[in-house]
Structure 1
Amino acid sequence: MTTSFPMNAGDGPYSFSRNSQLAREVLEGSKEMVRDAIIGKFDIKTMLSSSNTLCIAELGCSVGPNTLIAMQHVVEALKDKYLSQIMTNSTNNYLDIQVFFNDHVTNDFNTLFQSLPIDRSYYAFGVPGSFHGRLFPSRSIHFAHSSCSIHWLSKIPKELLDEKSPSWNKGLIHYIGASNIEVVNAYFAQFEKDMEMFFNARAEEIVQGGMMVLITPFSSYVRLMKFFGSSLTDLVNEGKLDESLVDSFNLPMYFPSVEDMTKVVEKNGCFSIEKIELTYPKSNLVDEADAKTLMINLRAVLEGLLINHFGSEIAKEACERTILKSEEISTWMKANYEKSCQLFVALKHN
């Protein structure tokens, strides 16, 4: 059974809908690559051989403007592909597009659907459930998209919490920064299991020849999470937090490399890699004010996890302390922002 890790809901000052600039940068950095994949690789003529309806799955949509912007990009590219490949040689003059927004059942779908643009050119649906399992009927999806989502694990590897295990991740909240290779291996093993379930489910749902685009952060800015870990350590050193609580807390995220993703795709065998690439989009978030913005972004992502494990008071103090480290974080960002990269993968169903 998968565990749900929802972003902060609603429209408050620390909600994900108002604090997702970092995810927006990932999205904007991949916009042209998504379009190129659709224009160059998506066989819309075959997809529409028996119907004038295209079905798109937005996997791990969360809440806020980013998922709507992503779908706008996808829909525009699909329409352009339709005009160039079909309209010139057909009497059909319409195209219906259905977009299925998916996330865990605890996702704030109410806020998401209240944000839908009135002038959207697609029919919108909500599909609650984990994308590590089946979500849609067989052969019903033509194009699937997921940005900043597949790095979320279905659960924390149990070895990380076992003091007797060589993978015990004492004193750290993630594998990034861990010197113990067994910790990294435990994270990857869980990612590998999760992606096998993910690909098997999508292989049932996506039509033959249909496509899937996956985008996820890879390095640099994901290392900002270590500052949350240092804030928790500060609370331990001050006697405000039991050390064992920190030792038993690990973030359920694995950020795959090109090699990692290639391995899991080829092992599964249901999809072929049309394109896989690390890209280095230039970030506009580098000064101290941006450091505060990024930490609030991460608060919107991580606060629910922190509250669930440490309680609301400790979670709030850890978040506030991390934001106060903005000068230190800004210095780190300026030294590392050019290394910021993300993984882009375009797959076709065999």
Structure 2
Amino acid sequence: MAAEETITSEPVSEAHPMKGGDGANSYAKNSTFQKGAVDNAKQLLNKVIAEKLDLEILSSPSSFHIADLGCSVGPNTFSAVENIIEAVVLKYHSQLGLNVQIPEFQVFFNDHTSNDFNLLFKSLPQNRQYYAAGVPGSFYDRRFPEASLHLVHSSTALHWLSKVPAEVLDKNSLAYNKGRIHYSNATDEVIRAHETQYAVDMERFLHSRAQEVVYGGLMVLNIPGRPDGTTHSYPFTKVTLQLLGSCLMDLVEKGVVSEEKVDSFNIPTYTMSPQELKAVVERNGCFSIETITQLPLVVLADRPNMAVPQLLAAHMRAGTEGIVKEHFGEEILDELFDLYLTKCEEHATAVETVTFLVVLKRKAD
């Protein structure tokens, strides 16, 4: 009965899954940025596991438990998991010899309940070296039994907040974000509301993982962010989400949607700085910071069959169609994203994102 009470008393988290299916506008077909983060982290991931993973956390014979949080639908999650398993196997061989018995691997794929898990499991690699399971629900709350995970991974997911800060939608608040859909070009009050929400969410995330990760276990997180000392307009969201907001205001001018509807719409993402993350980790006290390293820039460049504006528009639709559809309805989608493509062609030449590889180790209490 106590377990049920714990589950039902969780704070409400908004669900904003990526576009499912494998169609032209799907996340599965439009996640080059996210793939770039996974690819750029591979070499550092190998080094981190070789140097920081304590094999003593696993009592043999047993299974090695990996969780990928915010997995979406693939294929990027599968690449990340394969990279992790390769690195763990290499660690066993280098430390204990080629004849050592390698543990079996259990991988838990986690995302919101509305994620397209059907496509995820249909797409599982046939030659995988692990057992797969799905774990639905927000990663800001407990999802696994106590001390059951040896390695937690998450890539380009922790910039999504659990919800839009309440004061941003309150007409009577100084943080009311009228006429904008993001904080990057907003007032100081709006920015502070998002900073506060980020700190609260990360504390929830760390508190949950502290209960689930074994002592000595690792968390390896690829998090979109901005370098210390830069403004909130530094990330590429300044361009991408501001353009989307301007497209919605154009639809207001055309009478397609109401201004009030746009005023009540905000995209709950936040790009942290290493300094902010360190502060939250230190307040939590359950993890040591092993590294926070800026990965090579992920650059979205022209492809033979698709220019940068088209790629950017496709990525934006894959990432935001769900939240836009939920708020405005399906009927505006084509017009909105066609308009967005036109603006990208006018304003976007090359786009790059900043991502940090963050490695945390669970301390012994």
- Which of 259, 275, 281 is the equivalent residue of 1:243? 259
Q: Deviations over 1:48-86 (max 9, x none)?
A: 234332100101100021010111111111110111112
- Which of 72, 88, 94 is the equivalent residue of 2:82? 72
Distance 2:174 2:298 in 1: 38
Q: Deviations over 1:62-120 (max 9, x none)?
A: 002101011111111111011111235xx643321111101111111110111111111
Which structure is higher in helix share?
1
Distance 1:63 1:313 in 2: 25
Which consecutive unaligned segments of at least 5 residues does structure 2 have? 1-11, 227-234
Q: Deviations over 1:163-190 (max 9, x none)?
A: 1111111111111122x11111101111
Q: Counterparts in 2 of 1:299-338, with a 5 A limit?
A: 299-331=317-349, 333=350, 337=352
- Which of 324, 337, 356 is the equivalent residue of 1:343? 356
Distance 1:25 1:222 in 2: 17
More off after superposition, 200-209 vs 317-326: 317-326
Offset of 1:311 from its aligned partner?
1.1
Match of 1:259 in 2: 275
**Contact 2:71–2:77 at 8 Å: present in 1 too?**
yes
Match of 1:148 in 2: 156
**Contact 2:93–2:100 at 8 Å: present in 1 too?**
no
Q: Structure 1 length normalisation: TM-score?
A: 0.93
**Are 1:291 and 2:300 counterparts?**
no
Match of 1:202 in 2: 209
SS of the aligned residue for 2:359 comes to strand
* Amino acid in structure 1 at the alignment position of 2:275: E
Distance 1:113 1:282 in 2: 27
More off after superposition, 25-34 vs 121-130: 25-34
Distance 1:240 1:324 in 2: 18
Q: Deviations over 1:284-311 (max 9, x none)?
A: 5258712211211110110110011111
More off after superposition, 214-223 vs 14-23: 214-223
Q: Counterparts in 2 of 1:92-131, with a 5 A limit?
A: 92-131=100-139
SS of the aligned residue for 1:343 comes to strand
Q: Counterparts in 2 of 1:16-165, with a 5 A limit?
A: 16-44=27-55, 46-87=56-97, 92-165=100-173
Q: Deviations over 1:200-245 (max 9, x none)?
A: 1111110000000111222533331221111111111223221111
Match of 2:293 in 1: 277
CA distance 1:297–1:282, shift in 2 (3 Å): closer
4+ runs deviating over 4 angstroms: none
Offset of 1:348 from its aligned partner?
0.2
SS of the aligned residue for 2:236 comes to helix
Q: Deviations over 1:234-277 (max 9, x none)?
A: 11122322111111111011111111111111111111100012
SS of the aligned residue for 1:17 comes to coil
The number of equivalent residue pairs is 341
CA distance 1:64–1:282, shift in 2 (3 Å): closer
Percent identity reads 43
Q: Deviations over 1:121-156 (max 9, x none)?
A: 111111111111111111110000000111111111
* Amino acid in structure 2 at the alignment position of 1:105: T
Which consecutive unaligned segments of at least 5 residues does structure 1 have? none
Q: Structure 2 length normalisation: TM-score?
A: 0.89
Distance 2:64 2:145 in 1: 14
Q: CA RMSD in A?
A: 1.6
